[in-house]
Amino acid sequence: MLYSLHETGYYGATPLRLAALATREFWSSPLNPARLTDFGRRMFATADLVTNLTRRYRRPEWGIDSVEIEGQTVKVRPQTVWSSPWVKLTHFSRDMTDMRQAGRRAVEPAVLIVAPLSGHYATLLRGTVQAFLQDHEVYITEWENARGVPVMEGRFDFHDYLDHVRDMLRFLGPRAHVVAVCQPGPPVLAAVSLMAQDGEAARPASMTFMGSPIDARHSPTVTNKLAEERPFAWFASNMIYTVPPPYPGMGRRVYPGFVQLYSFMSMNIERHQEAHLRYLQHLMADDGDSADKHLEFYDEYLSVLDLTEEFYLQTVDYVFQRYLLPKGELVHRGRPVDPSQIADVALLTVEGENDDISGIGQTQAAHELCAGLPAELKADYVQPHVGHYGVFNGRRFREEIYPRVRDFIATHESRVHKGVQAA
């Protein structure tokens, strides 16, 4: 019922939205001599704000068509190289002619960035991708919005997610590098563990976990405490709704993205109100640059996707309530998952000092679980003065975190190549 009410509210606001659009066009038209007056700017700003508050926010574009390498602009073309109904694997292909002009002639390490399936689209990692593109062949998972997947495609749960990660690593071939950002940490570690147990040639050369809840018992945050305080049945009864028509996934039971979005916004409602007030003031003052920055942030922040019922509930159960992976109790399709069997996949963990989503120690827990790894294949880094988002985006990520991840990958790319040559 809640999903239907949400859609009814959106369509009910259509007259207001159309009126705001018409008003915005009128007061921004170069044919309107009053558009630059104080009254005209106020009318335009108010109409623009109403338009943005009532419109539909769809999957954002990547907007990455080039990257600068050694002072040379290198053209970039995103292309889907592998897919299922639930995900597409996007390769950011760099122009080889431009790469040679930049002095890069050798094949650079392939990196699979596993994006979170936790409410936002993979484009939230735009800055992460741009950084990695300077030195790597970058692939990223773009998970589908569950409301867009027909019921006939079947279920998609935690175990399916794990299998998809394995399949994509197999597609990339032997000894790629995998980077898990936030939510994917536990299923990616489980996937690599199973690949190590099976001695798969396609197991990665290194794995990097950034702000991931490997063991959510450490430094519990508000999010962790909510999962602990509420019984599992509460999440099943209050967080799951049915997708209404006309979406392709109508009839599918999901955890709607708008529920999570409203929950996050309600935690910082005053900050969001102040941000929109500043946006209104920037428009009235004709400060286009500041207004554009506001729109860029909220275009991403307000674009959300739905999660399948089974994936969401299993994640709550496995990761945040029963802690199956760190307790050695995770079983995948009848097989126990044992990270201690990982013997040659280098491990790097990255955390933010002020992370209020995945507290300090939650990601570091991977080191204890990977007991079979020698010390020289392990590294840990805690970035001072950053929160959760700063672990994978922003200035400190670009200048302080990424260089460490880049060097770690380069070290173990070289290690693997030497091992192959020796063999």
CA distance 389 to 127: 11
Model confidence at 386: pLDDT above 90: yes
Q: Are residues 124 and 11 in the same domain?
A: no
pLDDT confidence band for 277 (50 / 70 / 90):
confident
Q: Are residues 79 and 47 in the same domain?
A: no
Asked which of 9-23, 149-163, 323-337 is least confident by mean pLDDT, the reply is 9-23
Q: Are residues 297 and 394 in the same domain?
A: no
pLDDT confidence band for 233 (50 / 70 / 90):
very high
Asked whether residue 328 is assigned to any structural domain, the reply reads: yes
Asked whether residue 380 is assigned to any structural domain, the reply reads: yes
Domain end residue (candidates: 278, 301, 324): 301
Q: Are residues 28 and 135 in the same domain?
A: no
Question: What CATH number is given to the structural domain containing 393?
Answer: 3.40.50.1820
Model confidence at 421: pLDDT above 50: no
- The mean pLDDT of 172-176, rounded to a whole number, is 92
- Rounded alpha-carbon distances, angstroms, from residue 62 to 85, 98, 125, 228, 397: 20, 20, 9, 36, 19
Q: Are residues 167 and 314 in the same domain?
A: yes
Q: What pLDDT does 203 receive?
A: 96
Q: Are residues 23 and 88 in the same domain?
A: no
pLDDT single digits (tens) 284-301 = 777 777 777 766 777 777
Asked whether residue 248 is assigned to any structural domain, the reply reads: no
Asked whether residue 243 is assigned to any structural domain, the reply reads: no
CA dihedral 274, 281, 301, 25 (to 10 degrees): 140
Handedness of CA 25, 30, 34, 38 (dihedral sign): positive
Q: Are residues 149 and 45 in the same domain?
A: no
Q: What pLDDT does 422 receive?
A: 46
Model confidence at 261: pLDDT above 80: no
SS3 of residue 87 by DSSP: strand
Q: What is the DSSP string of 151-170?
A: GGG----HHHHHHHHHHHHH
Return the amino acid letter for 275: A
- The mean pLDDT of 102-122, rounded to a whole number, is 91
Asked whether residue 415 is assigned to any structural domain, the reply reads: yes
- The mean pLDDT of 133-161, rounded to a whole number, is 97
Asked whether residue 237 is assigned to any structural domain, the reply reads: no
Model confidence at 21: pLDDT above 80: yes
Written as six digits, the tokens of 87 are: 């995900």
* Beta carbons of 176 and 169 less than 8 angstroms apart: yes
CA distance 286 to 320: 47
Average per-residue pLDDT in the chain?
Answer: 90
Handedness of CA 197, 201, 205, 210 (dihedral sign): negative
Domain hosting 294: range is: 2-56+257-301
User: Nearest CA to 258 among 17, 56, 30?
Assistant: 56
For 274-278, the CB contacts below 8 A with 24+ separation are: 276/49, 276/53
- The mean pLDDT of 228-252, rounded to a whole number, is 92
pLDDT confidence band for 267 (50 / 70 / 90):
low
Q: What pLDDT does 1 receive?
A: 67
Strands (DSSP E) contained in 229-376 are: 241-242, 253-255, 307-308, 331-332, 335-336, 346-352
User: Nearest CA to 195 among 398, 337, 86?
Assistant: 337
Residue 66 is given by DSSP the state E
Q: Are residues 295 and 311 in the same domain?
A: no
Model confidence at 423: pLDDT above 50: no
Q: What pLDDT does 325 receive?
A: 98
- The pair phi, psi for residue 78, each rounded to 5°, is -70, 135
Q: What pLDDT does 264 receive?
A: 64
Q: Are residues 41 and 159 in the same domain?
A: no
Q: Are residues 171 and 218 in the same domain?
A: yes
pLDDT confidence band for 16 (50 / 70 / 90):
confident
Total tally of structural domains belonging to the chain: 2
Residue 83 neighbours by CB under 8 Å, 6+ apart = 89
* Whole-prediction pTM: 0.90
- The mean pLDDT of 272-292, rounded to a whole number, is 73
Q: Are residues 281 and 362 in the same domain?
A: no
Q: Are residues 353 and 400 in the same domain?
A: yes
Q: What pLDDT does 337 receive?
A: 98
- The mean pLDDT of 310-326, rounded to a whole number, is 97
Query: What's the helix, strand, coil split of the chain in %, to 5?
Result: 50, 15, 35
- The mean pLDDT of 327-356, rounded to a whole number, is 97
